[in-house]
A and B are shown apart, each in its own frame.
Chain A
Amino acid sequence: MSTATFRIWRGDVNGGKFVDYTTEITEGMVVLDAVHKIQATQANDLACRWNCKAGKCGSCSAEINGIPKLMCMTRMNTLPTDKPITLEPMRAFPSIRDLATDVSWNFRVKQKIKKFKPRPPDAPDGTWRMQQEDVDRVQEFRKCIECFLCQDVCHVLRDHHKHDEFIGPRFLVYTAALEMHPLDTEDRLPELKQAHGVGFCNITKCCTKVCPESITITDNAIIPLKERVVDNFFDPLGWLWKELRPKT
């Protein structure tokens, strides 16, 4: 039976420190299993969020050896166990306790985005007709499990703290899902440009890399949104950006 040592950040909004826990590792185990084992046997009060244990709910986000990931989908056999594995909360959000962070900002941001507004129904029974290929793209965006790992990794939020000016990749995906919904008739471009700050994104693609749902956040959601904004407003800088950007 092998063991692994976890160096887990314990603390709250006032600060904290790393504490080492060594636990047994069995076949097929994921990081979340190890955390649960530590919780049950060594640290009953170790705080972390989880629900589904299958990558479906987006609750168990953390930084594992510095990389934002879902703990329930990170197999132990993908991590070196010859040195301690560090486990930290998502650093772009205020700490609540241990691995749990205050992500309430995200819920407030979402509420600011104008809701879905469908065109009148296509059929007398109140239903619509849409082809599968017309909804494929939107369905990609709707796979989002709101783990907020993309928000965690985006430098505009993490390093530059533009929380009041930029909604972050998750909500650009959300906006894109609404804007590209075949039935939607709302216009969200003015606020996308202004209050929601699509311009802050400089296409580093870090968000796409960490997305556990493999949503191509940058190429499929953000870039088309930027283009729509550019097309909609006479914006010399935007125009220049569009001309100069490498073609994908």
Chain B
Amino acid sequence: MSGSAPWASGTTSDFSKLPKRGFFTVTNYETFEYDVLIIGAGGAGLRAAIEASTAGVKVGLVCKSLLGKAHTVMAEGGLAAALANVDDRDNWRVHFSDTMRGGQYVNNWRMAELHAKEAPDRVKELEAWGAVFDRTPDGKILQRNFGGHRYPRLVHVGDRTGLELIRTLQDHGIHQGITVHMEHTMVTLLKDGDRVTGAFGYDRERGRFKIFKAKAVVLATGGIGRAYQITTNSWEGTGDGQSLAYHAGAELADMEFVQFHPTGMIWPPSVMGLLVTEAVRGEGGVLRNKDGKRFMFDDIPDLYKNQTADNPEEGWRYCQGDRNARRPPELLTRDHVARCIRREVNAGRGSPHGGVFLDIAWIREKIPNATEHIKRKLPSMYHQFMQLADLDITQEPMEIGPTTHYTMGGVRVNGDTQMSTVPGLFAAGECAAGLHGANRLGGNSLSDLIVFGKRAGEFAAKFAKEHGAGQVNDAQIEQAARHALEPFDRGASTGGSAEGPYQVQHDLQEMMQSLVGIVRREDEMVRALDGLGKLRERARHVAVYGHREYNPGWNTAVDLKNLLTVSEAITRAAIERKESRGGHFREDFPNKDAASGKVNVIVGKNPDGSMQVRREPIPEMPAELKQVIEEMK
């Protein structure tokens, strides 16, 4: 890697020759050596990279897309931090208890505590690195309301907060001496005994395999949305980090908790699943059924009765910043709102295309310059509907329905260090489990990224300093390379008759959507397990054609393994949790079960390669945190 410019996407040598297929010796693979390798360049990965490089170790960062294009760029509504700039009653205790209540108390309470305490400092740091958030009249960082947050807490820039976050980290990070390999996919983690010693993957541009040796590895690979048909996630969300960690022997936790965001676009078909930010409701948007009724008033859970308005007038006052008003029921947690929408649709009270109406235009009745106000507060929503649906949200209601959005589950980590159960392997951001419990509050992901991205970077650097370089295993590398190339061999040998990867991916998504979706039942999930077995068999036989250079068919074939792994983990964990809680709703067990509320479901790999599921008691919460929760009830 000598002479490689840090930003030259890792394409360092010999553009002219492609590696010849079928000719494997490990020495042929370009090899990079780092102290800390970070897989993923969303908010979590970038923040980890900055922290690790600040600690003085040599950092490599790999990502599947170009820099700055990770999911984080799409986040809209904001970033939760108890700065108390808008409401001085806010503090870490309130944020902590909001997060625990939203997660229905199966969260890793240590992470929830650290998150609430550290998020404000992480935000201030962003400002010091050039972020320009919207301002309060006295010149501070402005904060807005969001579902499940007691006070206005979301730091934001209109509805493009994720762009501000990722760009700030990117623009700061490029001056830190981090080497970035863009458009590289990691297909396996390398191990030396118990410990992780690097990763193996290929560059998407040329299809060349590369070895990344590292003393510590941080996974920051994001979510799993692509396991479902209707999703806000891009092609990147194939659960790679969860799958890589699992196959390397790490444990996963909380995989049954998938967040279905209540408001995705549903019409026209080509935009199905695209996110409509919760900020629309934070700014006063209301949900109505086809009869024009605000159905969210019909079912307010006991846990939230004290905090929720029982009439439209009070709800509106809340959105206008009245400190004595309680929040409107549209801002209840996402799992609940999504199920209420489903209920309306199933009862025949849905909109023409099978959703319900989300109306922000109605605020015209309340404020004089509503059109301008909406455009300023929700510019990208305005833009998105205008361009993609020919609909002016300042004048007409939107049609929306639930969409797969986020995974609360992921790699099981230590709350302080973010290290997984495999030494040297760390995880942060969406691919790690714990902070959000059974349901994530809006805005708590972006804050998660910077709080735990920082911690992962810090502790990975520490681990790297305390440990020498391990060995990488040539046989493991050969096997991974061979495995990755098999679809080409089948393409060549079957002469076009074998199935391609897209159909398998499509059938998987359809099955997960219908059998392990918003409402679950044991018999359906058992069918899904059976279906996954068949899909795995088909995946073993898919063929791809053409070259290895920038070949999306091949890339899709490689990702299939990860999608199948995370789908199985979700399904098995969902069968194991015989109750309804947060994002996990069981028709056959529609209520919460106190005993189940004391455990997390853990997924691991048996020595024979099969998937193991077990329950693990949640450690007892320290008295002072219990007291905080009591006080905030």
Residues of chain A at the chain B interface (Cβ within 8 Å): 12, 26-30, 33, 39-40, 44-59, 73, 75, 96-98, 100, 102-104, 107-108, 110-111, 115-116, 118, 121, 125-132, 135, 138-139, 142-143, 145-146, 178, 181, 184
Chain A residue at smallest Cβ distance from B175 = A115
B176–chain A nearest beta-carbon distance, Å: 10
Q: B271 near A51 (CB under 8 angstroms)? A: no
Q: A33-B270, A49-B65, A118-B130 are in contact. Are A111 and B175 (CB under 8 A)?
A: yes
Residues of A within 8 A of B274 (CB): 53-54
Q: B74 near A54 (CB under 8 angstroms)? A: yes
B237–chain A nearest beta-carbon distance, Å: 10
The 5 closest A-B pairs by CB, nearest first: A28-B268, A44-B553, A129-B139, A45-B546, A116-B130
Q: A107 near B552 (CB under 8 angstroms)? A: no
Bound Cα distance from A12 to B124, whole angstroms: 45
Bound Cα distance from A182 to B285, whole angstroms: 33
Our pick among B5, B73, B128, B546 for the contact of A108 (Cβ within 8 Å) is: B5
Q: A131-B139, A142-B132, A142-B164 are in contact. Are A111 and B7 (CB under 8 A)?
A: yes
B68 sits at the interface (CB 8 A): yes
Bound Cα distance from A97 to B544, whole angstroms: 17
Residues of A within 8 A of B267 (CB): 28
Q: A127 near B124 (CB under 8 angstroms)? A: yes
A94–chain B nearest beta-carbon distance, Å: 10
A37–chain B nearest beta-carbon distance, Å: 10
Q: A45-B551, A47-B550, A111-B175 are in contact. Are A135 and B130 (CB under 8 A)?
A: no
Given A116-B171, A184-B130, 6 extra CB contacts under 8 A: A27-B269, A40-B502, A44-B546, A54-B384, A57-B234, A127-B127
Residues of chain B at the chain A interface (Cβ within 8 Å): 5-9, 11, 65-71, 73-74, 124, 127-130, 132, 134-135, 138-141, 157-158, 160, 162-164, 167, 171-172, 174-175, 182, 205, 234-236, 267-271, 274-275, 380, 383-384, 387-389, 500-502, 506, 544-547, 549-554
Bound Cα distance from A48 to B140, whole angstroms: 42
Residues of A within 8 A of B270 (CB): 26-30, 33
* Most chain B CB within a 10 A radius of its CB, from A26, A46, A129, A139: A139
Interface pairs (21), CB distance under 8 Å: A26-B269, A28-B271, A29-B268, A39-B502, A39-B552, A45-B551, A45-B553, A47-B551, A51-B74, A53-B274, A54-B275, A55-B384, A56-B73, A59-B69, A97-B205, A102-B205, A121-B128, A126-B128, A128-B139, A129-B139, A129-B140
Q: B135 near A130 (CB under 8 angstroms)? A: yes
Bound Cα distance from A39 to B500, whole angstroms: 11
Q: B500 near A97 (CB under 8 angstroms)? A: no
Q: A44 near B132 (CB under 8 angstroms)? A: no
Chain B residue at smallest Cβ distance from A148 = B66
Q: A30-B388, A128-B127 are in contact. Are A181 and B269 (CB under 8 A)?
A: no
Our pick among A45, A47, A135 for the contact of B545 (Cβ within 8 Å) is: A45
Residues of A within 8 A of B554 (CB): 45
Residues of B within 8 A of A178 (CB): 130
Q: A45-B551, A73-B388, A116-B130 are in contact. Are A58 and B69 (CB under 8 A)?
A: yes
Our pick among B65, B387, B550 for the contact of A96 (Cβ within 8 Å) is: B550
Q: A135 near B135 (CB under 8 angstroms)? A: yes
Residues of A within 8 A of B160 (CB): 56, 143
Chain B residue at smallest Cβ distance from A109 = B7
Bound Cα distance from A30 to B554, whole angstroms: 24
Bound Cα distance from A126 to B120, whole angstroms: 11
B80–chain A nearest beta-carbon distance, Å: 18
Residues of B within 8 A of A131 (CB): 135, 139
Q: B236 near A51 (CB under 8 angstroms)? A: yes
Q: A12 near B234 (CB under 8 angstroms)? A: no
Q: A26-B269, A96-B205 are in contact. Are A75 and B135 (CB under 8 A)?
A: no
Q: B171 near A57 (CB under 8 angstroms)? A: no
Q: B129 near A28 (CB under 8 angstroms)? A: no
Our pick among B129, B140, B271, B553 for the contact of A127 (Cβ within 8 Å) is: B140
